[in-house]
Amino acid sequence: MRGGPQIGQRPLSPRQRELLGLVAEGLTGPEIAARMGTTVGTVRTRIRDLLWRYSASSQREMVGLARKAGDLEC
């Protein structure tokens, strides 16, 4: 199903919201990793998880769907 989180999914964690916000700002994987104090591999994994959650095929689409779902403020 496209267009947002599946019914019954848990709300995003503060860390997931932070990651979405950094992706929305246009930061690269290494920049996000440095900002969040984690590894690039972890950032990639978490982004992949969020792409799946939103049934998105790109980070741009994921950000748009997160905004539409109210999971990401402007």
Burial (Cβ within 10 Å: 0-12, 13-18, ≥19) of residue 69: middle
Local confidence pLDDT in tens for the 74 residues of the chain? 454 555 457 899 999 999 999 999 999 999 999 999 999 999 999 999 999 999 999 999 999 999 999 998 86
Question: Are residues 16 and 46 in contact, defined by beta-carbon separation less than 8 angstroms?
Answer: yes
The full set of domains in the chain, from first to last, is 14-68 (1.10.10.10)
What local confidence, expressed as pLDDT, does residue 1 receive? 42
